[in-house]
Amino acid sequence: MMKEVTDNRIVSQARVRLCQHDHFRCHCESIDIDCREGRLVLMGRLPSFYLKQVLQTVLRGLPDVQRIDNRVDVVSPTGLSSESSERANGELSNG
């Protein structure tokens, strides 16, 4: 129960930090944040690899966070994305 309370607190702190950051005010709702036993999991979509890296940097110093698993997909307005390239790589490797 105590770990669950800590994980919920981490998620709340991460959400506040993210929504207050200049780079993420417009993207705050596009990022899902979860935490399990101190492992912060980030999911969603951002328009650039730069923002994906900044996201991780912004959340790195949170208390009780042991690890950050950044699963955010990069989807640009030009249609290029990490999401589609990962699918293409998976399809190629399957045969």
pLDDT at 94: 39
Asked if residues 13 and 62 have their Cβ atoms less than 8 Å apart, the reply is yes
CB 44 within 8 A of CB 30: yes
Q: Is residue 49 within 8 Å of residue 81, measured between CB atoms?
A: no
The pTM of the full predicted model, rounded to 2 decimals, is: 0.76
Which pLDDT value is given to residue 24? Answer: 87
Tens-level pLDDT at each residue, the chain (95 residues): 567 778 999 999 999 999 999 988 887 888 999 999 899 999 999 988 999 999 999 999 899 999 999 999 998 767 666 665 554 444 433 33
